[in-house]
Amino acid sequence: MLPYLILAGAQLAVGAAAIFARYALDGAGPLAVAASRLCIAALLLWSLSAINRAKTHASRRASIFLALAGVALAVHFAGWIWSLEYTTVAISTLLVASTPIWTAIYDTLVNHRPLSRPATIAFVTGAVGLVMVVGFDRTAPPQPDHELLGAALALIGSFAIGAYFLLVREVREGLDTRTIVTRTYGASAVCLVIAAAIAHQPPPPVHASLAWGGILAMALVSQLLGHTALNAGLRWFSPSAIAFASLLEPVIAAALALEIFHEAIPPIALLGGAILLFSVGVVLREERLPITDNEL
């Protein structure tokens, strides 16, 4: 039960990120928002490690893979947050949530690990449910003339987070979650700070309380709780299963938008959400891995 509770909590925390990002983007550019988010999370993790004198030792191979994973994570956040400037939350989260397609293709072609029949059927029904959730969204995009650019940026974010999960999986054995996220969040923060500086995107002004509130919420809730729990989930589930569970993000974002922005949810979207929840449950059951002795 614990693995499913951890994964459910992670999806709730990550699903709220789109709402937090909307507030953050009112005060700064997307690269600055992403950099601020990762810097806060990375600094907290490094500080905790220093206070507890915890070692984050990793082999040279693992260090290289974690550094590359950090770069992939930076690309993911930059692409996804940037996409929110050009397209709707629903479309952006839909495309970012396409990650399981790419991880499943990778596992099938490279690792010769095809999906089971129930999982394959669940992928199809999950896609149908997702389209029912976001396919009838009539919200006007922030910049209608650049909606394709927003879609492309969201897809780049989808590819990148898939690469992140696959890279972490390669060195997951023998490393605890704290070591993994401390190193990858740190590498990601460095990449995003450099990118923001090159793009001349400074962080929000000190007095921009709404923007900083959104950034802090993304760092503390979506990043430290949500993404860290997703990394922990790799102990029990395959990257494809973790990625597939992220299809719940549009459902969570829609529910939060209903509560916060009073955006109506059509009945067909509610039905689609139920189908998606069932499909995610099937994939997680089919793709669950044997439990190891690694620490969370």
Q: Quick one: DSSP state of residue 220?
A: I
Q: Contact, 165 vs 103, CB < 8 A? A: yes
What's the CA gap between 131 and 44, in Å, rounded?
Answer: 38
**Using CA atoms, how far apart are residues 62 and 221, in angstroms rounded to an integer?**
27
Is pLDDT larger for residue 93 or for residue 220? 220
Question: Lowest-pLDDT range, 25-29, 98-102, 137-141, 168-172?
Answer: 137-141
Assess contact for 90 and 137: CB atoms under 8 A: yes
Q: How many C-beta atoms lie closer than 10 Å to residue 243's C-beta? A: 26
Residue found under tokens 């309380």 = 209
Residue 122 tokens read as 């669940």
Checking if the pLDDT of 5 tops 70, the result is yes
103: its two tokens:
């991880």
For the chain, the average pLDDT equals 81
Residues 120-157 have pLDDT tens digits of: 888 788 778 777 766 665 566 666 667 788 888 988 99
pLDDT of residue 56: 66
Give the per-residue pLDDT at 211.
93
Encode pLDDT of 202-253 as tens digits. Answer: 999 989 999 999 999 999 998 888 888 888 887 787 776 776 677 677 677 7
- Residue 98 in this model has a pLDDT that exceeds 80: no
Using CB atoms within 10 Å of the CB of residue 129, give its burial: 0 to 12 exposed, 13 to 18 middle, 19+ buried: buried
Among the listed residues 107, 85, 68, the one whose alpha carbon sits nearest the alpha carbon of residue 34: 85
pTM, two decimal places: 0.76
Q: Would you state the pLDDT for residue 124?
A: 85
Tell me which residue has tokens 């490690």.
49
* pLDDT band at 277; cut points 50, 70, 90: low
More confident residue, 121 or 101: 121
C-alpha dihedral sign at 81, 83, 88, 90: negative
CB 129 within 8 A of CB 272: yes
Q: Say which range, 28-42, 77-91, 224-238, 273-287, has the weakest mean pLDDT.
A: 273-287
196 phi-psi bin (left φ>0, alpha ψ -120 to 50, beta other): alpha
Distances (CA, A) of 114 to 106, 108, 118, 235: 10, 5, 12, 20
Q: Under DSSP, is residue 237 helix (H, G, I), strand (E, B) or coil?
A: strand
DSSP 8-state symbol, 296? -
